[in-house]
Amino acid sequence: MQKSTGVQLFLQAAIARAYPRVRGANRELSWIFFEIVVPLINTSAFVFLYYALGAPKAYVGFVVLGGAMAAYWLNILWMMASQLYWDKQQGNLELYIMAPTSLMAILLGMGVGGMYMTTLRAATIAIVGTLIYGVTLDGSQWGFALLVFLVAMVALYGLGMLLSSIFLMWGREAWQVSLSLTEPAYFLSGMNFPLSKLFNTLPGVITLFSAIIPVSFALDALRQLLFPGQIVGVLHPGLEVAILAGMGVVFVAAAYWMLRRMERLAKIEARLSLRWQ
C-alpha cells in the first residue's frame, strides 16, 4: 500500500475532518431546528423591534442579513474556536496529535466542513427572512457582493483557526470566552444596525476591536452593495474587501504559527489530555 505524504496527506486529512461535518450537516433534525428556526425567531424579535420603532424598511433587511451572518459567527465560536476544547473533553485531541498529519489540516477540514454546514443554515435564514418580511435586495452588484462574502469567509475562518489554536491551552476558560464573545461581537460588528453608527459614537480603541471581527466590514460592505443609497458605510466596499483579504492572510499565517507554539506549550504543560480543569 502506498503511503500518502506531504500535500496529499494534508489534503486527505482535511477532507477526512470535513467529511463528518458535510455528511452530518442535515442528519440531526433537531440541529436544523435549533440552527435555522431559532435564529430566525431571534431575528424576528429584532425585526419587530424596528417595526415598533417605525424604522425604514431597509433596516429590516439589515437585521435579516445580520441574522444570516450571525450563524457564521456562532459556527466560528462553537465549532471552530472551541472545537479542540470539545475534542480534548471527548478524548479525540490525543488521537489528532498522534496521527501522522498536521493539526492545520484538521483545522482546515473543520473550517471547510463548518462553512458548508453553516452556509446551508445561513442561506435558509436569509431566504426565509427575506420572503417573510418582504426585504427588497438590489442585485445589480451581486458579483462584487459574492466576492466580499468569499473573502470574508476566508478571514472569518482564518480567525476561527487562530482562536482554535489559542483555545488549545484552555480548559473551562474556552467555554466561558466563547460565551462571552457572542453578544459583544454582535454589538461590535453592527449585526443589527449600521456599523457607521458605532464608528461615529464609540471611542477609536473600541472601533479597532470592531474592525478586527471580519463580520463587521463584511456586513457593512454587503449592506452597501445590496441596499445601495440606504446606508452610509464606514469605508468604500472596495477598501473593506481589501482589508478583509489582508485579515485573511494574517489570520491564517498567525494560526499556523500559534498552533505550533500552543501545541508545544500544551505538551510541555501536559494540557492536551487534561480534562475538567
Partner 1 sequence: MQKTLEQPEQSLTESAPDQARAERRLTLREVTRTFRVAAWLGWQIESNWADPFVFFSFTILRPLASALILVVMYQVIAGGTGGSFFQYLYISNAFFVLVIQTISGLVWTIFDDRENYKMLKYVYTSPARKFAYLVGRAMAKIGVALLTVLVLLATGVLFLGLHLNFGQVEWGWLIAYFLVGMVVLASLGIILAGIALVVARHGESIGEVTAGMLLLFSGAYFPPDILPTVLKQVTLGLPVTYWLEGMRRALNGGIMTGTFTKNGVTTTGPLSPILAQFDNWQLFLILVLCAAVCAVGSFLFYRWIERVAKERGMIDRLTGY
- Binding footprint of partner 1 on the chain (CB under 8 A): 28, 30-31, 34, 38, 41-42, 44-46, 48-55, 59, 89-90, 171-173, 176-177, 179-180, 182-184, 186-188, 191-194, 197-198, 201, 276
Nearer to partner 1, 10 or 51 (CB): 51
Nearer to partner 1, 184 or 246 (CB): 184
CB-based contacts of 88, cutoff 8 Å, min separation 6: 272, 273, 274, 275
Nearest-approach distance from CB 60 to partner 1, in angstroms: 12
Nearest-approach distance from CB 140 to partner 1, in angstroms: 26
Nearest-approach distance from CB 149 to partner 1, in angstroms: 23
Nearer to partner 1, 171 or 250 (CB): 171
CA angle 195, 197, 202 (to 5 degrees): 100
Nearest-approach distance from CB 99 to partner 1, in angstroms: 18
Output the nine-digit C-alpha cell for 55: 424604522
Nearer to partner 1, 169 or 198 (CB): 198
